[in-house]
Amino acid sequence: MEMQELKTLLSELVQIRSDGQNEAAVCDRIEACFTGLPVEVRRYPHGPGRDSMVITLPGRDRSRALCLVGHLDTVPVPDAPLWQRDPFGGAFDGAYLHGRGAVDMKGGAAAMVAAALAFLREGVLPPLDLRLCFTADEETSGMGVCLLRDEGAFAGAVAAVICEPTGLRPGSCEKGCLWLEVEALGLSSHGSRPELGVNAIDGVTAFAAGLRAALDSGETHPLLGRTTVSLTTLSGGVKTNVIPDAASATLDIRTLPGLKSDDVLARADQVARALEAQRPGLKLSLRVQNDRPSVAADPDSSFALAVGEALAACGLPGGEKGLYFYTDASQFIPQTGLPFVILGPGDDALCHKRDERIPLEEVAAAADCYRALIASL
């Protein structure tokens, strides 16, 4: 795909607003790239305007497949007037293409399309089936990748590339994520007599501190750092001079490979019951809002070696990295056990941020790398 065509495609993808809606329109634009070409297209509807899609390019060996995986939704833009450029304008400044989703991850989606079109336009069959798996709703519940998984989209695959932004460094692992809602009930009293009440806000903050200590094993992962517990929302209280009898909070817990959600929840329950025993009248209840397991690839697998060779063949430095955020990988790698890599264009530090932008040259380089990897399998 020529740079002008790639720029036009990515710009038009960014112009389609898909912040928790409208992924079907993004699918329409991508599918149009393959009009009249020998591919198999399957749509997976989730509701009005919301589709996932798999485009399969048949290979010489149809018993095997490589899956390229990318999501089509973005986060919203609550601060649009503060952007330097229209977040849905898809403007190109000669080096960077600007707009919401340029990095996360319509740049990766455009690279997936470009890699497949390279085979089709040259009339070359890839050595195995190439499946472009475009998912809806990655930024929320992941219903897109879950439906693809349950419908067998990964059956027969030998490996998967999750095309999220990594600056074209191979990501071999990502942290798990557990969002935990905590509700506390206590006893109100006059603010001048706190000893007559049970402070629910204090109960919530003590729980957060206790869980943080309980999960702090001292372990530091070479690529992912440490398990973290962050108190991210907190509400409670009715007036400055009233001890609050109710409070709620959410905790964002990011886990290292090897620490399972069941273990986290068991420790959370222990912390909650201990606090209730220490503070008579305090009642704590817990509810899971989101649960994504951590995933880690074998760095010595044949697929990992093939990824390294493809990067080297394209003149890219490589250098393994870990991802602190979760991807669609968390929703199908644990179930399928596929070898995988997280590899895509763009700086993940710009994800979900104002003035998101991606170097177009990096999108083109990602397409070249995917093509080299596919050809080597």
Nearest to 155 by CA among 137, 134, 136, 129: 129
Which pLDDT score, from 0 to 100, does residue 317 have?
Answer: 84
Q: Which two tokens stand for residue 32?
A: 């149009």
Nearest to 325 by CA among 215, 173, 184, 210: 173
Helix (H) or strand (E) segment spanning residue 303: helix 302-313
CA distance 13 to 5: 12
Of residues 51, 73, 245, 348, which has the active-site annotation?
73
Of residues 104, 129, 137, 138, which has the active-site annotation?
138
138 belongs to the catalytic site: yes
CA distance 155 to 149: 8
Which pLDDT score, from 0 to 100, does residue 217 have?
Answer: 82
- Spans in the chain with pLDDT lower than 50: none
Which pLDDT score, from 0 to 100, does residue 360 have?
Answer: 98
Domains and CATH numbers, the chain: 3-174+294-376 (3.40.630.10), 176-292 (3.30.70.360)
pLDDT in tens, 312-362: 999 998 889 999 999 999 999 999 999 999 999 999 999 999 999 999 999
CA distance 288 to 188: 27
Fill in the amino acid letter for 138. Answer: E
**CA 202 to the chain's CA centroid:** 33
Which pLDDT score, from 0 to 100, does residue 314 have?
Answer: 96
Which pLDDT score, from 0 to 100, does residue 146 have?
Answer: 98
Which pLDDT score, from 0 to 100, does residue 152 have?
Answer: 97
Which pLDDT score, from 0 to 100, does residue 280 have?
Answer: 98
pLDDT in tens, 284-300: 999 999 999 999 999 89
The pTM is what? 0.92
Nearest to 104 by CA among 147, 34, 167: 167
Strands 228-236 and 246-255, bridge-based pairing: antiparallel
Residues whose CB is less than 8 angstroms from the CB of residue 141 and which lie 6 or more positions away in sequence, other chains included: 290
Answer positive or negative: Cα dihedral of 202, 206, 207, 208.
positive
195 belongs to the catalytic site: no
Angle, in degrees to the nearest 10, between helices 107-122 and 23-32: 20
